[in-house]
Amino acid sequence: MARIVVDPVTRVEGHLKLEVEIEGGVVVDAWTGGTLWRGIELIMQGRDPRDAEQIMQRICGVCPTAHATSGILALDDAMGIEPPPNGRIIRNLILGSNLIQSHILHFFHLAALDYVKGPDIAPFKPRYEADYRLPADVNAQAVDIYLEALTIRRKAQEMLAIWGGRMPHVQAIVPGGVSEVPDTSKIYKFLNYLQEMQEFIENKYIPTVKAVADVYSDWLSIGTGCQNLLVYGGYPLEAGLDHVKKKKFWESGVYIRGQYKELDISKITEEVTYAWYKDDTNGTTPDVAVVSPDADKKDAYSWIKSPRYNGEAMEVGPLARQWVLKNPEVVALGDKAFSVMGRHFARAIETSHLAAAMKEWVLQLEPGQPVCVPHELPKKEVVGVGLCEGSRGALGHWHRISSGGRTMVYNAVVPTTWNSGPRTGSGAATVRGPMEQAIIGTKVADPNNPVELVRIIRSMDPCYGCAIHIMTPDKKTMNQFAIN
């Protein structure tokens, strides 16, 4: 039995170590480990709860907008307030703009180079020597689109900043709504940007994904995973404090053991069996758990916790959203949707659908109408929960606030903890994480060039900056490693 270690996995955000066992050229076991300690939520303890909107954006520079959204929804929930229509719509436009940018980033600048062969110069090298199959003319066109996508991503960030004030780390999302006031010039400017985004998505992004999927059709059967899917839902279309049940562009739901069911967030726990944290929080809910690091813990191999839904590992992200929503284009793939190419296809399709919806939303803005409602901190101990759909999947922030108006507990359960958390249980009761399950059973043609493994990982678009963090204010070296 041979062992392959990829450390770090490149073209993902953050630090991932992948370790697999190979027998007869097939992966028989896998371990996905985050290699830094996550501690950013601890910064919130004892602070004014309203600091969360800015501090928690610093979890990640790639997807800060989703953390701003979940953080502010948790505050709205705790305070019992609801933004007016203008505030709700502008929040949706801010989050949607970031998703468009992030999905284009993911495919062209992180994942596509596993299938598209660029020239032998940076940033196209160094790389694994994959089985490049695209016809020369299609490959050349894809390289040109790769370069064009850099400009499109910049413009998507500029589009976001019309309503967010800046990007990254928006400033306009506040309790009870937003601080940005709509007018006709901003609406017109946003529509111009959005039109360019739509043209790129329809004429470049989706056709390129389909071209790759046609040539790499065998990858519609590789990287299946757990086939349990979870969606918090996102982009509210109506008022209401029940973030699970109120009408949203992407509705909440789960698909578990082959059945569609309603989402029940009380079934969410976090496990630390194989994570470098003390076991006293094992199996607790996010509103109470405050983890303590344990770097010497026996058998642990990751700084990522393992969220579970009623004990089950759940995949989140574009595939989960579009399958739970019963998107006909994705459901038509049948079991092939649960694959590397199925994930890429679902991501491209949902980008198109969301961009079209955003065009309708921005035209619903009413200049001169309120964008925010007043708020005050609760005078009793409360827990606020903020659920949204980030680019990479279901994102939830749990915020416990004391009667004195200070943060007691803050936990962000992010998409990559769902997808890339370590196993839980032991023996016959072991439940591997979704990414680990997706990798097991994969044929590896060349152990010295394991491109198959990173293709599966990148199809899930992990973000380890969101999942793990390290901070020592005294700049003390916690551990030192030599990586060969």
pLDDT of residue 475: 37
Count of other CB atoms within 10 angstroms of residue 475: 6
Most confident of 126-140, 163-177, 191-205, 238-252: 191-205
**Strand 234-236 and strand 407-413: pairing?**
unpaired
Q: 170 with 94: CB under 8 angstroms?
A: yes
| pLDDT band at residue 9 using 50, 70 and 90 as cut-offs | confident
The structural domains of the chain, with segments of one domain joined by +, span 2-467
d(CA 411, CA 398) in angstroms, rounded, equals 5
What does the pLDDT average to over 4-18? 81
Which residues are 13's β-sheet partners? 463
What does the pLDDT average to over 419-435? 93
Looking at 1.10.645.10, 3.90.180.10, 3.30.465.10, 3.10.290.10, the CATH number of the domain 2-467 comes to 1.10.645.10
Q: 256 — phi, psi (to 5°)?
A: -135, 125
pLDDT of residue 146: 96
Before 64, cis peptide (omega within 30)? no
Using only C-alpha atoms, what is the Rg of the chain?
Answer: 22
Give yes or no for residue 119 having a pLDDT over 80: yes
Give yes or no for residue 55 having a pLDDT over 50: yes
Give yes or no for residue 131 having a pLDDT over 50: yes
Burial tier of 83 (Cβ tally within 10 Å: 0-12, 13-18, 19+): buried
Whole-number percent of the chain with pLDDT over 70: 95
- Of residues 204 and 18, the one with the higher pLDDT is 204
d(CA 454, CA 18) in angstroms, rounded, equals 9
pLDDT of residue 41: 84
Listed as own residue / partner, the contacts of 407-410 with beta carbons closer than 8 Å and 24 or more positions apart are 407/44, 407/45, 407/46, 407/47, 407/48, 407/49, 407/51, 407/52, 408/45, 408/381, 409/45, 409/287, 409/288, 409/289, 409/290, 410/41, 410/44, 410/45, 410/52, 410/56
| pLDDT band at residue 428 using 50, 70 and 90 as cut-offs | confident
Give yes or no for residue 77 having a pLDDT over 90: yes
- In a 3-state reduction of DSSP, which class is residue 200? helix
pLDDT digits (tens, 9 = 90+) for 164-199: 998 989 999 999 999 999 999 999 999 999 999 999
pLDDT of residue 8: 78
Q: 36 with 469: CB under 8 angstroms?
A: yes
Most confident of 26-40, 144-158, 232-246: 144-158
Give yes or no for residue 477 having a pLDDT over 50: no
d(CA 219, CA 236) in angstroms, rounded, equals 34
